[in-house]
Amino acid sequence: MEVDSEKNGRASASHSAEQDHGVVVEDRLRRALSPRQVQMIAIGGTIGTGLFLGTGKALATGGPASLLLCYAIVGAIVFVTMLSLGEMAAFVPVAGSFCTFSARYVDDAWGFALTWNYWFNDAVSTAADLVALQLILQYWTDTFPWYALGLIVWFLLVLANIINVRAYGEVEYWLCLLKVITIVIFIILSIAVNCGGNTTHEYIGARNWYLPGAPFVGGIGGFASVFVTASFAYGGTESIAITAGETRDPARQLPRVVKNVFWRILFFYILASLMIGLNVPYNYPGLNSKDTRTSPFTIAFQLAGSKVAGSFVNAVILTSVISAGNHALFAGSRLLYTLSVNGHAPKVFGRLTRFQVPWVSVLFTSFISGLLFGASFIGAGQLWTWLQNLVGVSNQLSWISIGIASLRFRAGLKAQGKEHLLPFKNWTYPAGPIIAVVLGIFIVLVQGWSCFSPNFNAVDFVSYYIELPVFALMFVVWKLIKRTKFKRASEMDLITDVYTKDDMEPEEVGWKGKAKRIGGWLCF
């Protein structure tokens, strides 16, 4: 009771204001995302170029075994990371999410470096998606101006993000639904293609695993390079927690979202990677070149003997890229807003519209993405690879930081006697976060192996490792300027913005309640 009264005493004003107006007083963002939107965004919001195009590059550079193993290993890291993040986000559901947690439970300088790093990650991700549009369009024509489609989509993304959060949520819901349906059809069709339902009417089986050079193409260098591609593909999974600041009943909804991540990883990534490796040879033309990329999803439909179906899938992939860009711009603008609110960025980025949308942050993030997109003249395929490497490493730094913040968060709860207040507990603690952090650090260091062998490639080296010194420099500079201190467990802020089991909205009982829960699980 003493802990509860302390929490209620310091937070009752903000919670009553939120319940009355649907606005979080601390960051003034409106909780307008419904459970069905949050569930669908969690399932398919970040599925985009990393899965639809990245798997092709990974297959070409690492082979089918590297593709499957690396996607499975990174998937396991992401799942544990999401359990850790879900535990914190259900307790403190704010738009800053893991960036805020790093500042509160580790060191303010760490939170500063991580938030700026992840904001840049989202700006680069949006640009990478705009670049990918050119690569996808090349399936139909090479004559369409390279900049035209990107500019049109860029404008539409800005519009969807600046109107209000409901507009973003609804656009994302339907685009995600289309992606999910396409992947389900792809997996079913891939099984049929493998069993003989292809243009040659031959059983494929594991034939492509026994091609010369397969299943591990490029040796240790090829295997290690797939890690960054997998990290790019899974990237953004953690950003679903950024919607916590605009989600209704976050203490109840976020744990449900986190639990569904396991099935998403198993079905969408690992099973899709297996089918791609079985059906598509690693040396298929166009999988990985400087100027073009062909999606293995499109190839699978071509193998089934339908050029029309191939065009349909390519069109769906195009919409999925738009969806991923939409999500990245949303997350990036919210992080820039959080930086402003916390005094880590100019106050102008904290300005809101009457619908509580951080419009200055949206415009600035989209502007930076547009500048990066403008570099496409060097070769869309090459630029996309560099952007992918930058985003992949940035994602890994975020996952490592989430693991560290989770360990410190639990230490703080234990020291202050508040573990019983958690709405959701990470069942892998403490082994899960520790293993995820150690594996994450190892992967960050070894994934650039290919840029050293057989010959040193300076440009690739920069794309793999530039994030590390930049992150370290931002941490050290902010720590020296602000003289920040490492957060002690007994002194952590475990009161501000906190939601406990008592703050959950009561669920409907009877058949209506059961129907709503089933509908929510099915994203309806």
Using 50, 70 and 90 to split pLDDT, how confident is the model at 67?
Answer: very high
96 versus 295: the higher-pLDDT residue is 295
Phi, psi dihedrals of residue 8, rounded to the nearest 5°: -70, -35
- Residue 522 main-chain phi, psi, to 5 deg: -90, 5
pLDDT (0 to 100) of residue 399: 93
Predicted local confidence at residue 524, as pLDDT: 46
Is the model's pLDDT at 77 over the cut of 90? yes
Q: What share of the chain in percent tops pLDDT 90?
A: 30
* pLDDT (tens digit per residue) in 307-362: 677 788 788 888 888 888 888 898 889 889 888 888 888 999 988 888 888 899 99
- d(Cα 514, Cα 524) in Å, to the nearest integer? 13
Q: Give the per-residue pLDDT at 206.
A: 92
Check whether 112 has a pLDDT greater than 60.
yes
DSSP 279-333: HS-TT-TTSS-SS----HHHHHHHHTT-HHHHHHHHHHHHHHHHHHHHHHHHHHH
- Look at residue 62 in the predicted model and tell me its pLDDT: 92
Q: What's the mean pLDDT in 262-274?
A: 86
Q: Is the pLDDT of residue 466 over 80?
A: yes
At 68, give phi and psi (nearest 5°): -70, -45
- Averaged over 419-448, what is the pLDDT? 91
Residue 127 binned pLDDT confidence (cut-offs 50, 70, 90): confident
Q: Determine contact, residues 280/208, Cβ cutoff 8 Å.
A: yes
Helix 296-303 with 54-91: angle, nearest 10 deg: 120
pLDDT tier at 243, thresholds 50, 70, 90: low
Q: Tell me: pLDDT of 125 over 50.
A: yes
Q: Tell whether the model's pLDDT for residue 382 goes beyond 80.
A: no
Higher pLDDT, 322 or 304: 322
How many whole angstroms separate alpha carbon 30 and alpha carbon 264? 28
Q: Given a cut of 90, is residue 70 above it in pLDDT?
A: yes
pLDDT at 290 over 60: no
Supply the pLDDT for residue 289: 60
Residues 402-426: what's their mean pLDDT?
Answer: 93
Res. 522 pLDDT band, cuts 50 70 90: low
What pLDDT is attached to residue 131?
A: 82
The pLDDT value recorded for residue 31 is 61
pLDDT value at 368 more than 50:
yes
Instruction: Collect all residues with Cβ–Cβ distance below 8 Å to 502 and sequence separation of at least 6.
Output: 4
Q: Tell which wins on pLDDT, 295 or 384.
A: 295
What is the C-alpha separation between 14 and 391, in angstroms, rounded?
A: 36
Report the chain's mean pLDDT, rounded to a whole number: 81
Neighbours of 488 (CB within 10 A): 11
- Residue of higher predicted confidence among 477 and 334: 477
Q: What is the DSSP string of 197-252?
A: -STT----TTGGGGSTT-SSTTHHHHHHHHHHHHHHHHTTSGGGGGGGGGBSSHHH
pLDDT score recorded for residue 9: 45
Instruction: Please give the pLDDT value at position 246.
Output: 62
pTM higher than 0.75: yes
33 strand-pairing partners: 247
Task: Please report, for the chain, how many H helices and E strands are present, in that order.
Answer: 19, 0
Is residue 42's pLDDT more than 80?
no
Highest mean pLDDT among 165-169, 386-390, 440-444: 440-444
**Residue 33: pLDDT above 80?**
no
**pLDDT value of residue 38:** 73
Q: Which residue has the higher pLDDT, 200 or 410?
A: 410
Q: How far is it, in rounded angstroms, from Cα 229 to Cα 231?
A: 5
pLDDT of 492 reads 92
pLDDT at 45 over 70: no
Mean pLDDT of 140-145: 80
Residue 465 to residue 454: CA distance in whole angstroms: 18
pLDDT at 5 over 50: no
Residue 59 contacts residue 67 (beta carbons within 8 Å): yes
Section 35-49 average pLDDT: 71
Q: Mean pLDDT across the stretch 489-506?
A: 77
